[in-house]
C-alpha cells in the first residue's frame, strides 16, 4: 500500500526535477542570449563608429568649403552694391557673428551700412500685439499710409518701412528726422525695439533672423517677423530676409514667407546665412532686389536655387 509519505516524497522529487531543469535550461538560454547580445553590441558599435567617421569627414569638408567661401566672398560681391546703402534689422535670435560678417560683406560690395534696429521679444509676443498696434497708430508719421491688414507685423512693417527706407523713386527720406526720432523712441520706450547708434534710412533693408523658433507661440512669432519683412520690402527699393539653419521650417520666418505666394513675389529669402556661402548669397540677393526680382535661396527643400542665377 502506497503511504502518504510516499506521495509527499514523489511530489517533492517532481518539483526538484523541475527546478533543476529550469536552472539548467535558463543557464543555456542565458549563455546563448548573452552571446547574441554581445554580437549585436559589437555590430552596433561598428555602425556607430562608421557614422561618426562619416560625420567627421563631412564636417571637415564643410569647414573647408566655409573657409573657401570666406576667403573669396569679398571678391565675389565686389561692386554688387556700389554706392548703395543698407540698413540692418535683427531679431533677438540673430547671431552677432553673422551680423558682423554680413556687414563686412556689404562694405566689400561697395555699400554703406546706415545702422541697425533690433527687434525685441516683445515685438513678436502675441500677448503684446494689441499694444504694438496701438503704438504704431499713434506714432505714425504724418502722411504715411498704413496697409489695410490688421496683424501687428504688417502694420509695424508699414510704419518702420517709412522710417528705415528711402523712397525708391526719389531716394529721399519718407519721414522727417523729428518724426523718425519720435516714432523710434516711442517703440523703444514700449520695449519693442532697440535702436543702434546713428541709425539712418537706407535704400535696402536686410532682416537677419536665426533659425526655427520654439515654444507655444513659435508659429505666431515667426509669422509676425515674416509679415513685417514682407511689408518692409514694399516700402523701399528692396529687402532680404536671411536666416540660419531651421529658418525655412514651418516655425521659421523664412519658411513662413516661402509658404506665402504673394510674399515670395516681392521678398527674397536666404536660409543658410549662418554660413559663409549663404552670406555671399545674401549680398547677391540684395543686388537682385535692386533689379526688381525676388527669389528663395539656400539649402532647404523649399529653396528654388542655391543662389541667384543658379538652377535648383
Instruction: Please list, in sequence order, all residues whose beta carbon lies within 8 angstroms of the beta carbon of residue 4, skipping any fewer than 6 positions away.
Output: none
Is 37 a residue whose pLDDT tops 80?
Answer: no
* pLDDT digit string, tens, across residues 194-247: 999 999 999 999 999 999 998 889 999 999 999 999 999 999 999 999 999 999
Strands 296-297 and 112-119: unpaired
Residues 188 and 210: their CA atoms lie apart, in Å, by: 22
More confident site: 15 or 191: 191
Across 149-177, average pLDDT = 95
CA angle 282, 274, 89 (to 5 degrees): 60
Whole-number pLDDT of residue 41: 74
Is 30 a residue whose pLDDT tops 80?
Answer: no
For helices 218-233 and 152-164, the axis angle rounded to 10 degrees is 40
Whole-number pLDDT of residue 24: 46
Across 182-203, average pLDDT = 96
CB 165 within 8 A of CB 199: no
pLDDT band at 56 (very low <50, low <70, confident <90, very high): low
pTM of the entire structure?
Answer: 0.80
Across 253-280, average pLDDT = 96
pLDDT band at 117 (very low <50, low <70, confident <90, very high): very high
Whole-number pLDDT of residue 39: 75
What is the residue-averaged pLDDT of the chain? 87
- Range with lowest mean pLDDT among 55-59, 155-159, 207-211, 292-296: 55-59
| Domain boundaries along the sequence of the chain | 1-77, 78-297
Is 64 a residue whose pLDDT tops 50?
Answer: no
pLDDT band at 60 (very low <50, low <70, confident <90, very high): very low
Amino acid at each position: 500500500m502506497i503511504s502518504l509519505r510516499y506521495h509527499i516524497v514523489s511530489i517533492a522529487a517532481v518539483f526538484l526535477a523541475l527546478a533543476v531543469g529550469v536552472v539548467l535550461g535558463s543557464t543555456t538560454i542565458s549563455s546563448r542570449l548573452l552571446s547574441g547580445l554581445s554580437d549585436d553590441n559589437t555590430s552596433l558599435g561598428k555602425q556607430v563608429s562608421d557614422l561618426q567617421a562619416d560625420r567627421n569627414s563631412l564636417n571637415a569638408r564643410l569647414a573647408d568649403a566655409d573657409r573657401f567661401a570666406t576667403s573669396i566672398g569679398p571678391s565675389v560681391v565686389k561692386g554688387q552694391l556700389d554706392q548703395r546703402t543698407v540698413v540692418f534689422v535683427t531679431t533677438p535670435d540673430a547671431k552677432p557673428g553673422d551680423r558682423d560678417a554680413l556687414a563686412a560683406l556689404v562694405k566689400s560690395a561697395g555699400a554703406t551700412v546706415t545702422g541697425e534696429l533690433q527687434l525685441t521679444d516683445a515685438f513678436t509676443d502675441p500677448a503684446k500685439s494689441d499694444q504694438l498696434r496701438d503704438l504704431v497708430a499713434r506714432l505714425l508719421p504724418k502722411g504715411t499710409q498704413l496697409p489695410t491688414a490688421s496683424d501687428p507685423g504688417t502694420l509695424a512693417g508699414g510704419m518702420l518701412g517709412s522710417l528705415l527706407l528711402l523712397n525708391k523713386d526719389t531716394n529721399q527720406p519718407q519721414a522727417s528726422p523729428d518724426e523718425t526720432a519720435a516714432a523710434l523712441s516711442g517703440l523703444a520706450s514700449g520695449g519693442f525695439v532697440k535702436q543702434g547708434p546713428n541709425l539712418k534710412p537706407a535704400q535696402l533693408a536686410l532682416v537677419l533672423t536665426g533659425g526655427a523658433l520654439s515654444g507655444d507661440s513659435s508659429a505666431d512669432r515667426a509669422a509676425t517677423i515674416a509679415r513685417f519683412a514682407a511689408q518692409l520690402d514694399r516700402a523701399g527699393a528692396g529687402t532680404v530676409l536671411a536666416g540660419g539653419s531651421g529658418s525655412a521650417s514651418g516655425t521659421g520666418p523664412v519658411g513662413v514667407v516661402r509658404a506665402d505666394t504673394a510674399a515670395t513675389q516681392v521678398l527674397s529669402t536666404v536660409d543658410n546665412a549662418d554660413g559663409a556661402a549663404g552670406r555671399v548669397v545674401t549680398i547677391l540677393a540684395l543686388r537682385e532686389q535692386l533689379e526688381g526680382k525676388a527669389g528663395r535661396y539656400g539649402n532647404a527643400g523649399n529653396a528654388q536655387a542655391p543662389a541667384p542665377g543658379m538652377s535648383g
